[in-house]
Amino acid sequence: MLEQIEVLPFGEWLVSSAIFYVVVVTLLLVIGFAIAAFLNVVRYGPLEAFDRLTLIAGTAFADLVNFSPRRTWAIARLAFMEGIRRYVLAVFALFVVVMLFAGWFLEPNADQPAKLYISFVLTTSNYLALIMAALLSAFSLPSDIATKTIYTIITKPVRAGEILLGKIVGFSSLVGLMLAAMCVISYVFVVRGMAHEHNVTVADLTEERLPNSDIYLYRGVTTRANGHVHPFTVDSQGQGETEVENGHFHRIATLFDVRGAWTFTVTDSADGSQESFVAVMSGSVDSPAVQVAPGDGSLPAAESLETWSRPELSDAGYASVDTSRFEWTIPEAFTGKGRALRLDGSIELPVRNQGGFLSIEGNLLETDGEGEVVSGLTVRGLQRLAENPDEVFDMRVGEHEGMLEARQPIYGTLRFLGRDGNPGQGIDVGTESRYRGYVEGGTLGAAIFTYDGITPQAFPDGLPVELDIRVFRTIKGDIERTVRGSLQLVRPQTATSTSVVESRKIDFASTEFKLKRLDIPRKIRSEDGSRELDLFDDLVVDGKLEIWLRCEEPQQYFGAGVKDVYLRRGDNSFFANFVKGYWSIFLQATVIIAFCVMFSTFLKSAVTLLAVACVSILGFALNMITLGTFQGIIVVMREKSPFFNRVVSTMGLESGVWGDVFQARENPGGGVVESAIRIVLQKNQTIDIDTIPEGMMMAIRWFDFFSMLIVWLFCQVVPNFNSFMTADFVARGYDISWNLVAQQTLATAAYVLTLTVLGYFFLRSREVAA
Amino acid sequence: MSMDPKRSSLVRKLVYLALAATLLIPLFVIGRPAVVQEEGKTTGGGILAEMRQKEGIAQSELGDVDPASSAMRLASMGLHGVAVAVLQSQANQAKIDQDFDEMTALNNQILRLQPNFVKVWDFQAHNMSYNTSVEFDDYRQRYAWVKKGIDFLMEGERYNRDDPLILKDLGWYMGQKVGRADEHKQFRRLFRKDDQFVQTFPAYIDINRAYTRYGYDNWLMAGLWYDRSVSAVDERGKRLYGDGPLIFYRNPAMSKMNHAEALEDDFRPDEVAQNAWENAETAWRGFGDRPVNSSWGEALRLNQLEQIRVQVAELERKLDQFAPGVRERITEERKKQLDPLFVAAVETPPEERTQAQVERVNAAAPVLDVDPKLIFAEIPSEKRTGEAVRLTDQIAKLKQYATYVDRYRNQVAFDYWMGRARMEATADAIAARNFLLDAKENFQAGRLEEAKTDFERGFALWKKLLTTYPVTLESSMGDDLTDSIELYGRTLDNLGETFPKPFDLQMVIDRQTGVETPAEPPAESGDEPADAAGESAT
């Protein structure tokens, strides 16, 4: 699960990984050298062994110094050509076939179709790429050796290390090329799979007047596409957004295509004389064009129309309510006054349920040459436009938004306050997953997120907060309404700043399983309403800020995990993120290739495949193996064997590097053999096995312990493929940070380097390349 | 004999080709798909198609073959059991992680691998409609997931044509899940206008029959699916499994009852509701007329009880002629052993019995019932003719049958629903309900005098109805009335008046409190609790 992946800051990661790497490599060197020395001594006697070892060390050093990128590249090209002759096309064809049939299993009407599609293509590409990488590289070197082709290579001045690295580079570039093609195909697949179009019938809109105001809203539902519809609300100008369905929304814009006469009268306030005009309006609300002629209602002939100057709309757009300010200058020909008039008023373009209306109201201000007001005229007009509003209003639903994204979140740390307001833990409401803690509504309980790096540069316009929280009801409450909650910005308490500064509560109605976005402005009232706070001046301390999440309804609960409330710094390109996802796959494939090439220096191809399969399975199941199973046996051992317990405590294993392994308190039941016995005897994990003598059981436990220790140690050097799985990031629309990309790339490079060196010595020891 | 190597290779290839072609013949015979004729019947087809047809497995028809499913099963090379186990565990993890789309996608794959394993469809549909839907807080999302479960079942039915379990489940989800959930008001409202959804139902469900003045009704729709499940068993010879036959055959009629009940819950009772109750009664009678296989091995008809009782009385009269006075004697002896309360109840003429007395009579009936063998034993030996033996035998058999029918009727609250439907279909019932609704509205608007009058008019009508259909008292329906009575009490309080005595609906209060108010003075001890709470109506 994405929530549980923790990405360390790069520096921190680099230091800890580098130390670990050096330790492991030193250990490998020491062990390797010891084994080689032992074997040589047994075979050739100490003196000769010494000679041989120094020789190997000497040539190894020479090989390193004389390493030639050019020769490596030549080998790489060979490997590349070899690969093309083998499986690549077949695997690629398989991929295309899978893509063709995928539509049968993927539902575009799922709740989060993008997630489904993206994780499908990425997972498929991932497995195919890994399988291909293994098949490509496992057969190459063994068949070279078997067919003795290797001799034609090593008779050339090519060094063993160059052969290995060349093969790794060659195969991985081939896989990379294939992945690039897959990437493009699946990108098109996803984008096309998500593409859909909704329509709107204006006549079906329902009008709603906001209480105590003249503001009208219009509600409706789009047509069905990809198995879903969007309810939406637009303002009286027909501008708005749909609700989020299936993980996305659409913007709605309305174009006005006004046909028909629109009459209005201009009254001179000085002498009370009136004159009628006919206007024809067209264009959209953002840029209406008005043509006007003197007349009293009948549609004027086209040639008699003259275009008024296009009005400059000052605050058009869907933010405004139902009027747009404008200023028109009426040419003197139309005023009948022999002078130009400036019209300063408002225009109303409401979407009405029964036919469209266009109304205009304002003052005509007569100005002299210097812009001074000379006299006032009022203008008033109303015209019914058409019976069928769909002829007047062209309401357009835009492209889907919010689905194929790469959001850049800033996560905070999370702590909870209990119902009494004291620090505590999130309440467990009994969900199987323990990721989220719950906060009781109507109490002092809160989930507190602390963010770092909040600067005016990063958030010049305030904080965009996104929430993905869960709701747990203990009473039915009002079914038709979702549970209310609030966010509050609080200044963190530090040693230097202890004053309590809190913003007012920002209320929201909860949504579940779809992101809720709240934009917190830079200026916000304080909790008591007494003053206006500035986000950065009053609330942020050293770039730190706290956001308190509360549930506002008694007996209802909100659940939140550490990644459920985050600040959205901005977005990166989705395509770039998609490519990053494929880059992770490429890195995994490269690691597999490196392992294959290394193993194939001393194993037959089938065995190489088996070994790599073991490494992969271990790599994917690492999270389960490393602690869980090992801890099981340790718990039992410490309980059953006082000696073991003494060793652990005297060696201080409970703390330090081994701490999380030896402090285990859970997972009883023993190791492999003991578990197998339990299955046969039908004894569950918590009861003692009394049918087998205790001495025997102890021996079994010791065996389990050492076998598990070996597995565990091995696990420490096996690549953790889970940390390379970035499909979830892409699928759920989160940006893969460059930090993560760098970590993965560096780790891959380390594996390639180490495995090449390891393979070099193995190949040398086979004497084919000596 | 030596041969040109090139030719020998050619000959070998030709032989292989011929062998391959020959092998195609048995393949053709076995695998040829059936051809769909009119009315959905299939003809022809190879051995496999015939077997599929016989076993009722869907994809025997050409054009119905699902390439995705077949391809997946083929690709797993016989290991689809293993694949399913892995996918199931992943789906379960997805559910734990609340990744419901992932779960649905995995379920789809699982079902492509084993499309004819009905229990899996059943399980996963339940998972969606019941377990997943409640994870969401917004009732519209909940409704969407209920629908997903139903969609899933419909797809399952496409793979397993006429499977009674899936069809019954479809009725159940559409009825009970939509109509009985906490959010049933909202769900039913959404369902009424959900044209898009009901249009996806297969052609054999005539959705127009579930259309009411208010829109599509989920209970009527459920009834259509139940009808289909019944006809799958009755007409298409599918084996009935899962439910017992009694409950299974009750479903269609019951959904009509639920429909009528829900209409009165959602809207003001009017002629639409009245009509619905009439239809429900007809359906219920139909249910009573149909033979239902019982666990005693004989098919019962629930409607036959009254008729059998008349028959028994007639036969007993005939038998009594062989031993006059014996029955009366035995009855009198047994009465002496009974509590006088019960005897008094029995001796009260049926139309004057109070509710408690009716219950006592019912309780005393098995004691006072005389076994025909006892009568037979007292027939003088010279009179013990073949006729007497035959009568004794017949009475015993009929009584046994009546007991069975009675038990089955109790299981489905047969009498209650029959009485309820008859009562509700009367104009009085509609008027009574409307009076109480008016009264509540008046009360809320503070028009207390009007409220009081409406309450009293409503109660008077209810009294009449409950006396005519006493069986309807035994249910949650009484709860609605109790609410009204409570509100009536508050109305009187506000008006400064006292609760009237005697009160029209005293019987409802008695039933709720379990305390009997003596209707007439006779020295009955009032602490006698009423008998068994009766059948709860579901």
Amino acid present at A440: E
Residue with more model confidence, B427 or A287: B427
For residue A680, give how far its alpha carbon lies from the nearest alpha carbon of chain B (Å).
22
Q: What is the mean pLDDT of residues B441-457?
A: 91
On the question of pLDDT at A644 being above 50, the answer is: yes
Of the listed ranges A545-559, B54-68, B429-443, the least confidently predicted one is B54-68
* CA–CA distance, A453 with A457 (Å, rounded to integer): 10
pLDDT tens-digit readout, A706-762: 888 887 777 778 888 888 888 888 988 889 989 999 999 999 999 999 999 988 888
Which residues in chain A have their CB less than 8 angstroms from residue B186's CB?
A: 479-480
Q: Considering CB atoms only, which of B101, B183, B185 is closest to A111?
A: B101
* CA–CA distance, B374 with B397 (Å, rounded to integer): 15
* pLDDT value of position B35: 55
Of the listed ranges A15-19, A369-373, B252-256, the least confidently predicted one is A369-373
pLDDT band at B37 (very low <50, low <70, confident <90, very high): very low
Which pairs count as long-range contacts for A682-688, CB under 8 Å and 24+ apart, including other chains?
none
* pLDDT value of position A751: 93
pLDDT tens-digit readout, A233-289: 887 667 788 888 888 889 887 765 444 444 555 555 556 666 666 555 554 444 455
A473 vs B137: CB contact, 8 Å cut-off?
A: yes
A476 vs B100: CB contact, 8 Å cut-off?
A: no
ipTM of the complex: 0.73
pLDDT tens-digit readout, B393-421: 999 999 999 999 999 999 999 999 999 99
pLDDT tens-digit readout, B230-283: 999 998 888 888 888 999 999 999 999 999 999 988 898 888 899 999 999 999
Q: What is the mean pLDDT of residues A68-74?
A: 89
* pLDDT value of position B260: 94
* pLDDT value of position A255: 63
For residue B117, give how far its alpha carbon lies from the nearest alpha carbon of chain A (Å).
19
* pLDDT value of position A353: 35
Cα–Cα distance list, A466 to A215, A511, A523, A556, A570 (Å): 29, 11, 19, 21, 12
Axis-axis angle for helices A10-44, A46-65 (nearest 10): 140
Please, which residues 505-564 of chain A have a Cβ atom closer than 8 Å to chain B? 510-513
* CA–CA distance, B255 with A501 (Å, rounded to integer): 60
Q: What is the mean pLDDT of residues B9-31?
A: 82
Please, which residues 385-414 of chain B have a Cβ atom closer than 8 Å to chain A? none
Backbone angles phi, psi at A487, to 5 degrees: -115, 145
* CA–CA distance, A655 with A664 (Å, rounded to integer): 11
SS3 (DSSP) at A207: strand
For residue A727, give how far its alpha carbon lies from the nearest alpha carbon of chain B (Å).
13
pTM confidence score: 0.74
Please, which residues 359-378 of chain B have a Cβ atom closer than 8 Å to chain A? none
Q: Considering CB atoms only, which of A1, A105, A479 is closest to B105?
A: A105
Q: Considering CB atoms only, which of A112, A433, A482 is closest to B101?
A: A112
Q: Please answer whether residues A376 and A362 qualify as being in contact, where contact means their C-beta atoms are separated by less than 8 angstroms.
A: no
Q: Considering CB atoms only, which of A115, A229, A433 is closest to B98?
A: A433
On the question of pLDDT at B124 being above 80, the answer is: yes
* CA–CA distance, A38 with A51 (Å, rounded to integer): 14
pLDDT tens-digit readout, A89-99: 777 777 777 77
Which residues in chain B have their CB less than 8 angstroms from residue A115's CB?
A: 101-102
* Residue A621 contacts B, CB cutoff 8 Å: no
On the question of pLDDT at A382 being above 50, the answer is: no
B105 vs A110: CB contact, 8 Å cut-off?
A: yes
Q: What is the DSSP string of B471-500?
A: GGGSSTHHHHHHHHHHHHHHHHHHHT-PPP
Peptide bond between residue A521 and the one before it cis (omega within 30 degrees of 0): no
**Residue B235: which residues within 8 A CB-CB, separation 6 or more?**
none
Which residues in chain A have their CB less than 8 angstroms from residue B193's CB?
A: none
Cα–Cα distance list, B333 to B322, B327, B361 (Å): 20, 10, 17
* pLDDT value of position B99: 84
Q: What is the mean pLDDT of residues B59-88?
A: 66
Axis-axis angle for helices B139-159, B118-126 (nearest 10): 170
* pLDDT value of position B38: 43
In A479-534, beta strands by DSSP E: 484-490, 506-509, 516-520, 523-525, 532-534
B105 vs A106: CB contact, 8 Å cut-off?
A: yes
pLDDT tens-digit readout, B164-215: 999 999 999 999 999 999 899 999 999 998 888 898 898 889 999 999 889 9
Q: Please answer whether residues A722 and A618 qualify as being in contact, where contact means their C-beta atoms are separated by less than 8 angstroms.
A: no
pLDDT band at A659 (very low <50, low <70, confident <90, very high): low
On the question of pLDDT at A517 being above 90, the answer is: no
pLDDT band at A77 (very low <50, low <70, confident <90, very high): very high
On the question of pLDDT at A522 being above 80, the answer is: yes
B137 vs A106: CB contact, 8 Å cut-off?
A: no
Which residues share a beta bridge with A525? A532
pLDDT tens-digit readout, A298-312: 544 555 544 443 343
Q: Please answer whether residues A466 and A517 qualify as being in contact, where contact means their C-beta atoms are separated by less than 8 angstroms.
A: yes
B68 vs A120: CB contact, 8 Å cut-off?
A: no
* Residue B506 contacts A, CB cutoff 8 Å: no
Average pLDDT, chain B: 83
* Residue A111 contacts B, CB cutoff 8 Å: yes
Amino acid present at A166: G
Q: Which of A323-332, B249-258, B513-522 has the highest mean pLDDT?
A: B249-258
pLDDT tens-digit readout, B351-408: 777 777 877 888 888 888 888 888 888 888 888 888 888 999 999 999 999 999 999 9
Axis-axis angle for helices A160-194, A738-765 (nearest 10): 150
In A527-606, beta strands by DSSP E: 532-534, 545-551, 556-560, 565-572
Structure tokens at B473: 């008292």
A479 vs B139: CB contact, 8 Å cut-off?
A: yes
